[in-house]
C-alpha cells in the first residue's frame, strides 16, 4: 500500500500548514473590533456574509483554518484531500484580492500597498495546484 504523502510533499505541506494553523489560532479569541474588521473585509468581497454575525464568522474562519492547517501537518491525511481544501481556501483569499477595492492598481493585477498582504496568498494557490497535479498523476499511475 502506498503512503498517502510523498516525502517531496512535506516541505510544502509543513510550510502552508504551519502558516494556516497559526493564522487560525491567532483568530480564535479575536476581540469584537477585530472580528468586525475581518467580517467587514470579507463581506465586501462576499456579500452573503453580511448575514453572519461578526464573532460567529471569525469563529468559523478560525475553526476552518485550524482544521486545514492541522490536516496539512498530519502526514497520514492524503495529499489529494488536503490539496483540495487548500485550493478552496486559497481561492477564497484570492477572491478577496480580486473583489475588495483598493487591493489592486486600477485595471491591473498588480497589488497596492494595501493588497500586498493578500496577494502573497497566490503562493498557497500554487502549492495547492502542485499538490493536486501530483496527486492526480499518482492516481493515474496507480491505475
- Model's pTM, two decimal places? 0.91
With CA atoms as reference, report the closest residue to 61 among 9, 69, 135, 140: 69
Write down the mean pLDDT value for the chain: 93
Q: How many domains does the chain have?
A: 1
Q: Is residue 77 part of a domain?
A: yes
pLDDT band at 2 (very low <50, low <70, confident <90, very high): low
Tell me, yes or no, whether 84 lies in a domain. yes
Domain that holds residue 29: 8-136
Question: Cα separation of 83 and 72, whole Å?
Answer: 8
Length of the chain: 143
Tell me the per-residue pLDDT of 108-129, one tens digit each, with 9 for 90 and over.
Answer: 999 999 999 888 889 999 999 9
Is residue 141 in some structural domain?
no
Is the pLDDT higher at 123 or at 141?
123
Residue 36, pLDDT above cutoff 90: yes
How much is the CA Rg of the chain, to the nearest whole Å? 17
Alpha-carbon gap, residue 56 to 115, rounded angstroms: 25
In a domain, 29, yes or no: yes
pLDDT band per the 50, 70, 90 thresholds, residue 137:
confident
What cell numbers appear for 45 in the block? 468581497
The reply to whether 79 falls in a domain is yes
User: CA-CA distance, 143 to 98, in Å (whole number)?
Assistant: 39
Let me know if residue 2 belongs to a domain.
no
Dihedral pair phi/psi, residue 10, rounded to 5°: -60, -45
Amino acid at each position: 500500500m502506498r503512503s498517502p504523502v510523498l516525502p517531496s510533499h512535506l516541505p510544502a505541506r509543513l510550510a502552508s500548514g504551519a502558516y494556516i494553523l497559526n493564522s487560525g489560532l491567532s483568530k480564535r479569541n479575536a476581540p469584537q473590533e477585530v472580528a468586525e474588521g475581518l467580517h467587514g473585509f470579507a463581506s465586501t468581497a462576499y456579500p452573503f456574509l453580511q448575514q453572519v454575525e461578526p464573532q460567529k464568522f471569525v469563529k468559523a474562519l478560525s475553526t476552518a483554518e485550524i482544521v486545514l492547517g492541522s490536516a496539512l501537518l498530519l502526514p497520514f491525511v492524503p495529499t489529494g484531500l488536503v490539496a483540495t481544501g487548500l485550493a478552496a481556501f486559497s481561492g477564497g483569499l484570492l477572491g478577496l484580492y480580486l473583489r475588495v477595492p483598493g487591493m489592486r492598481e486600477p485595471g491591473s493585477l498588480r497589488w497596492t500597498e494595501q493588497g500586498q498582504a493578500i496577494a502573497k496568498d497566490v503562493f498557497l494557490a500554487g502549492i495547492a495546484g502542485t499538490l493536486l497535479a501530483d496527486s492526480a498523476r499518482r492516481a493515474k499511475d496507480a491505475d
